[in-house]
Structure 1
Amino acid sequence: MTTQPSRETASKRSRRAEPINKRTFKNGKVTFWFQIDVGTKPDGSRDRERFTYDTQAQARREYRRITTEVAAGKYVKLLDITVTEAIDQWLNGRRGIRRITLQGYRNDLKPVRRRMGGKKLRQITKADGDGLVEWMLTEGRIDPRHYRPDSLMSQVAELIGQHPEGISAARIKTAFPDNDIHTCLSGLIRSGRVTRPRRAVYVLAINAQTHRVASGVKPVTVRSTLTTFGMVIQSYVDKGALPRNVIALVERPTDDINEDDDDEQAKSWTVEEVETFREAVRNERLYACWLLSCYGARRSEVLGVRWTRFDATALKVRRGRVAIGKETEENLPKSRRSRRDLPPPADLAEALDKLKALQQAECTALGTPWTDDRLIAVDETGVPIRPEYYSDMFQRLRQRAGLRRIPLKGLRNTSVSLMLKLGIPVHIVAAWHGHDPALSLGVYSDAQPEDLRAAGAALFG
């Protein structure tokens, strides 16, 4: 009589049939591994891969999953490259985009390189993404390069410290002729190491820190990093090199709202505030440029327009100048809609004519020949204004006028909001500012308190 094997015996035989091997190291650590064919190499030979796990149960589970996927033709062979290598490959493959966009991607991915650059790309988990978010929000702003003795910031701070009475920006530039001193000084002021008691004069801050205290970045910076890093991961998922995009599962942090700060979310001014600013900068040399910003032009457009593109009938927006690291690049506008001809209002045309005459007189005094292909936004010597300097100058003028703090881009938001408030059709507002009509309503428009009061008062008469 033949006896049937018990269920337990059959289960043991089935498990033994799985080629799970055990390995014990000298230090006592035990691992479990197996080898299977996962495909065919380009030369026609079999592609045999080895897998190692810490527990036997995990090895069995993964063996069944992998063999099932191989049999169904769905197995994805994971890459054996680091996160830094994956980022470099992705950036090198980005073609057909502007340099400023590519530089933005590089900046977004810097925290990823610092946090997990040496880790294998195939080992990245959602927990790693969550850890990146927490680290950026608490410690991500630390940049030890700024505090190295051999860094430009430390050398400039040391020079300023040698002049307790103050040192001018011109003397600092003379000491470091081949460096972007204005950007360096702006960074020193933001970090609290240097103060500016009066225009173009700098002194070392009282109790200035020689090292940076750990601090986090804003949630919007974290969201930008996660978006770009998610694009990197998704590109490998699309190529079949990764099974899924784990960064897409990471929850994005929201902006902190301070209920006691009424101006925290201000992104535009009222018409009275704009008029105050226009009056405050009327005697500034670049008054025409500030007027152009008040009329909604982008910073890149203000700094990229040339005199050949201006006459009494039209100001033609054809180029833009943007900062890319220490360099400044002049290129095509941001989009097709950005290419436009703006009939200059009377006050803007008058201000531009005065600025042109002033620059011609400056060229005569310097013995420099005048040409109409010069940029409009230049200093007294004809050197183009850097984008960062233009933004910093706006904040100084804004503060001197006693106005609420908004970014330079807030002038563009203000222009859109005030045009819409005047009843100008949205498609005309969008055409003036060089963007899609949906952006005029959803991004750039901003309701002021008086608008809300009028809306509430009109509801029931």
Structure 2
Amino acid sequence: MTETPAKKTRRAEPIDKRTAKNGETSYHFMVDVGTKPDGSRDRPRFTYRTMTEARREYRRITSEVAAGTYIRPLDLTVDEACDEWIEGRRLRRQVTRNNYINHLLPARRFMGGRKLAQLTKADGDALVTWMLTQGRVDQRRKVDPDSLSSRVAAFVALHTEGVAAQAIQAEFPGQDIHNPLSALVRAGRVARTGRAVYAATETAAVERGVKPVTVRSTLTALSMMVQSYVDQGRLPRNVIALVERPADEIPEDDDAVDAAKSWTVAEIEQFRTAAEAHRLYACWLMSTYGMRRSEVLGMRWSRFSDAALKVRRGRVAVGTETEENLPKSRRSRRDLPPPAELAAALRALKKVQRTECLALGVAWSDDRLIAAHADGTPIRPEWYTDEFQRIAKAAGLRRIQLKGLRNTSVSLMLALGIPVHIVAAWHGHDPAMSLSVYSDTHADDLKAAGAALYQ
């Protein structure tokens, strides 16, 4: 009588054990998780070190596949994910793109080679600690080791007692060693110890951290990048959103407490008086009325009339170049009725520029930029900021940033009782920004508030 072979039973959990040549064991299984773009089965292999871990993951993965919530692990490093995210954003302004790139640089330096799907909150916390203690890049140390400067520095370091410039020149015949030496002295890598005698200095870079505001900018950009993959269904959650943002330190000295981001009425009047003789007085008035630097530098005569200054474009610095583009936001596009003094100053500047064009033999065009030098070349954003500081310093005013004029404009309008939605509309931003970011309180405001409380 022929025996019937025993029927092979199907395993409830098809997990196989594998023993490698070195004796290490692992456990693996394969699961259908969907279909590939070409229509074939997507059946990846999952491998774990223990049977317990393999069983737990098999149950989790099959349950998620059945529920339609399974997310295949993302096989991208942080560097690759940053590149893909930036490339996929349709950014109108190059300066915005550059800002994202710069904000992500610390994260890429610290964990660029890590798999994005393997990041944890602890990794985000470690990034914050590293940035606050060691994250600053010393630009003076970013040198090419094969450059002439580096080779000169290495030669000088060989002579502990110092070496004469003549000997250095003999070591590098036919090459100008004076400019590299001057650069090395400015960078602190070489010291001039005597007449034409140079010695090496301590070149070890001092580890320093960055400010909390820089850390917050990096975390914001990194969290936006990670969240985009969560929204695509390629990551289960955004662990960077769980990282606590560092707060700014509270200063203890009186000078730091008194430091403000805007001027008082008396100080702004003092600045306006000091700038009155300046050729670009009309531009400084536009700044004191709260216009952004990009809006002042992007304003053309064709958009000015006694009825309105039409904010339609902006000019910003992008590296060593400038970019003229649409305003920062939809709210930034606005028509501002210029006050009488501003309209008069603009008409006076227009007359001056017409005279300059006539003297240079250049045809006048209303498409010309208002913020331009006498020869018609556009004002560089950096020059405009530096010139503001020169005027303020000559007038003996407290140092604030150029954007402090915008803060001043918002604060003074709010102090005059102008409704916040009108203040926001004038400055081209959200009303919440007027109160939380741009407004500033001065001692006189606090004094008046206290005096009026029980009167």
> Does TM, normalized by the shorter one, top 0.5?
yes
- Farther-moved stretch of structure 1 (256-265 vs 214-223): 256-265
- Which residue matches 2:110? 115
**1:102 maps onto 2:106 in alignment:** no
Instruction: Specify the alignment match of 2:127 in structure 1.
Output: 132
Relative to 1, partners in 2 of residues 1:288 and 1:25: Cα closer, same or farther, differing over 3 Å?
farther
Shift of residue 143 of structure 1? 5.1
Residue correspondence of structure 1 range 252-291 to structure 2 within 5 A: 252-263=245-256, 266-291=260-285
- Matching of residues 79-90 of structure 1 within 5 Å: 79-90=74-85
Superposed, 1:189-208 pairs within 5 Å as: none
Residues 1:150 and 1:450: Cα distance change in structure 2 (over 3 Å): farther
Q: Which residue in the other structure is 1:411 paired with?
A: 405
| 1:147–1:211 contact (8 Å) kept in structure 2 | no
Q: In 2 relative to 1, CA 283–31 (structure 1 residues): closer, same or farther, beyond 3 Å?
A: farther
Which residue number in structure 2 is paired with residue 230 of structure 1? 223
Identify the match of residue 424 of structure 1 among 418, 421, 443: 418
- Alignment correspondent of 1:182: none
Give the match for residue 180 of structure 1: none
Q: Which runs of 5+ in 2 are unaligned?
A: 1-10, 154-182, 189-199
Query: What is residue 164 of structure 1 aligned with on the other side?
Result: none
Distance, in Å, in 2 between the alignment partners of 1:99 and 1:231 is 18
Q: Distance in 1 between matches of 2:134 and 2:383?
A: 28
Secondary structure of 1:302's aligned partner: helix
Conserved 8 A contact 2:103-2:218? yes
Q: Report the 3-state secondary structure (helix = DSSP H, G, I; strand = E; otherwise coil) of the residue aligned with 1:429.
A: helix
The one-character-per-residue Cα deviations of 1:376-433 (angstroms, maximum 9, x if unpaired) are 1112322211222222332333333332232211111111111121222333322322
1:358-377 correspondence runs (5 A): 358-377=352-371
**Residue 232 of structure 2 aligns with which residue?**
239
* Structure 2 partner of 1:184: none
**Alignment of 1:141 onto 2:115:** no
CA RMSD of aligned residues (A): 3.2
- CA distance in 1: counterparts of 2:119 and 2:374, whole angstroms: 53
Structure 1 residues 272 and 31: alpha-carbon distance in aligned structure 2, compared to 1, 3 A threshold:
farther
Read off the aligned partner of 1:278 and give its amino acid letter: R
| 1:19 paired residue among 15, 21, 26 | 15
Which moves more between the two structures, 112-121 or 336-345? 336-345
TM-score with structure 2 length normalisation? 0.78
The one-letter amino acid of 2:391's match is L
Q: Helix, strand or coil for the counterpart of 1:430?
A: helix
User: Aligned partners of 2:63, 2:394: CA distance in 1, in Å?
Assistant: 70
Letter of the 1:270 counterpart = T
After superposition, the C-alpha distances for 1:144-178 in whole angstroms (9 at most, x for unaligned) are 586314999x89xx9xxxxxxxxxxxxxxxxxxxx
Residues 286-305 of structure 1 deviation map (CA, whole Å, 9 limit, x = unaligned)? 22211110111111110000
Question: Which of 434-443 and 318-327 deviates more?
Answer: 434-443
How far apart are the structure 2 equivalents of 1:276 and 1:451? 19
**Contact kept in structure 2, 1:193 and 1:209, CA below 8 Å:** no
Aligned partners of 2:27 and 2:129: how far apart in 1?
34
In structure 2, distance between residues paired with 1:209 and 1:456: 56
Rg larger for? 2
1:348 deviates by 2.0
Q: In structure 1, give the amino acid aligned to 2:245.
A: R
User: Of the candidates 46, 49, 67, which is equivalent to residue 51 of structure 1?
Assistant: 46
Q: Is the 8 A contact 1:18 1:60 kept in 2?
A: no
Other structure's SS at 1:276 match:
helix
SS at match of 1:337: coil
Answer yes or no: is 1:334 the counterpart of 2:331: no
Q: Greater shift after overlay, 269-278 or 344-353?
A: 344-353
Q: Report whether the alignment pairs 1:38 with 2:33.
A: yes
Which whole-Å CA distance do the structure 2 matches of 1:308 and 1:363 have between them? 17
- Pairs aligned (count): 400
Q: Which amino acid aligns with 1:213?
A: V
Aligned match of 1:436 = 430
Work out the percentage of aligned pairs sharing the same amino acid.
Answer: 65
In structure 1, distance between residues paired with 2:254 and 2:211: 16
Structure 1: state its 5+ residue gaps.
1-14, 159-187, 195-206
